[in-house]
């Protein structure tokens, strides 16, 4: 009985192996190129999937970039608006400041013209002007010298103040303004500053580049003020001008 079972198992195995033929044995090998075509199809499918993923990534990045650019434009627009607002505020404050300065100047003039204001002491102002000149504060000094002249045009310090106002303008390289002040010195019948003013006129013309007028003024110093302390310097200028 056991032997019968063993033969039965052998027959089953033989039947199994007999049926388990491969497709190649049953139908023959696949046509040429089928395997390669299947592999190519799989590669194309994988490539398409990668391209799709990359396209989705690019689209996402473009959307993100667009959003950031829009935000940047909005930020720049806001900054420009703020700058315009600040410029308008600055202009308004500048106008207010100018109005305040004009008001202060007007008030100062009214105070100076008031009969109740304390009279100006020309001598004290003249000393203050010289202190400012020595400190090279030429604009302040010029204003104070002119204050002396305006306070007492016929006073003993008026001609000196007018001359030093010219010196201050000369120091500021305002040669036209200096000549205007210096010419007024000659209007005084008695002044110790005539030869000083004459020499300064020559210098003003020289630095303005009007050498002919400068030569005339230096020669006039030699004729009108032969004993002037500036005679040697004037002659040096004359030689320089003739050599040019």
Q: What is the pLDDT of residues 186-232, one digit of tens each?
A: 999 889 999 999 999 999 999 999 999 999 999 999 999 999 999 99
Q: What is the pLDDT of residue 229?
A: 95
pLDDT value at residue 39? 60
What's the rounded mean pLDDT across residues 164-184?
Answer: 97
Q: Which among 78, 98, 79, 102 has a CA at the least distance from the CA of 90?
A: 98
Asked whether residue 30 carries a pLDDT value surpassing 60, the answer given is no
Q: What is the pLDDT of residue 57?
A: 82
Mean pLDDT of 134-142: 96
Q: What is the pLDDT of residue 37?
A: 57
Does pLDDT of 10 surpass 60? no
pLDDT, mean of residues 11-28: 47
The burial class, CB within 10 Å (0-12 / 13-18 / 19+), for 133 is buried
Nearest to 218 by CA among 227, 143, 233: 233
Mean pLDDT of 168-173: 97
Using alpha carbons only, what angle is made at residue 222 by residues 212 and 187, rounded to the nearest 5 degrees?
Answer: 85
Question: What is the distance between the alpha carbons of residues 46 and 44, in angstroms, rounded to a whole number?
Answer: 5
User: CA-based angle 127:128:133, to the nearest 5?
Assistant: 95
How confident is the prediction for the chain on average, in pLDDT?
80
Rg (CA), the chain: 53
pLDDT at residue 4 greater than cutoff 80: no
Residue 47 has pLDDT above 60, yes or no: yes
Nearest residue to 206 via CA among 183, 240, 177: 240
As a whole-number percent, the residues of the chain with pLDDT over 90 amount to 47
Q: Taking the mean position of all CA atoms in its chain, how far away is CA 163?
A: 40
The torsion of the CA quartet 161, 164, 170, 174, rounded to 10 degrees, works out to -10
* Residue 78 reports pLDDT greater than 90: no
Return the pLDDT at 105: 63
Q: Looking at per-residue confidence, does 73 or 56 come out higher?
A: 56
- Please state the separation of Cα 151 from the chain's center in Å: 43
| Percentage of the chain exceeding pLDDT 70 | 71
**Domains of the chain, start order:** 104-192 (1.25.40.10), 193-244 (no CATH)
Q: At what angle do helices 194-208 and 231-243 cross, to 10 degrees?
A: 20
pLDDT at 5: 47
Q: Given this model, what pLDDT does residue 178 score?
A: 97
Joined together, the tokens standing for residue 233 give 């310097």
CB 163 within 8 A of CB 147: no
- Which residue do the tokens 């046509």 mark? 31
**pLDDT above 80 for 11:** no
3-state secondary structure of 29: coil
Instruction: Tell which wins on pLDDT, 99 or 32.
Output: 99
Q: Is it the case that residue 111 has pLDDT exceeding 70? A: no
């Amino acid at each position: 009985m056991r032997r019968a079972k063993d033969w039965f198992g052998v027959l089953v195995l033989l039947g199994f192996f007999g049926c388990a033929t491969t497709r190649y044995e049953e139908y023959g090998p696949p046509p040429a190129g089928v395997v390669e075509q299947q592999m190519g199809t799989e590669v194309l499918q994988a490539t398409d999937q990668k391209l799709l993923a990359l396209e989705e990534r690019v689209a996402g990045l473009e959307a993100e970039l667009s959003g950031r650019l829009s935000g940047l434009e909005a930020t720049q627009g806001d900054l420009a608006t703020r700058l315009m607002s600040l410029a308008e505020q600055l202009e308004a404050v500048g106008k207010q400041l100018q109005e305040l300065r004009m008001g202060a100047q007007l008030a100062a003039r009214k105070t100076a013209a008031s009969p109740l204001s304390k009279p100006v002491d020309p001598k004290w102002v003249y000393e203050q002007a010289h202190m400012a000149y020595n400190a090279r504060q030429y604009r302040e000094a010029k204003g104070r010298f002119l204050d002396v002249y305006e306070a007492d045009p016929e006073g003993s310090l008026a001609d000196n103040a007018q001359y030093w106002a010219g010196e201050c303008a000369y120091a500021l390289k305002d040669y036209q303004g200096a000549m205007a002040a210096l010419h007024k010195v000659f209007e005084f019948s008695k002044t110790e500053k005539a030869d000083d003013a004459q020499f300064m006129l020559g210098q003003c013309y020289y630095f303005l580049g009007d050498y002919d007028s400068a030569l005339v003024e230096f020669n006039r110093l030699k004729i009108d003020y032969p004993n002037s302390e500036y005679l040697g310097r004037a002659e040096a200028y004359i030689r320089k001008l003739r050599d040019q």
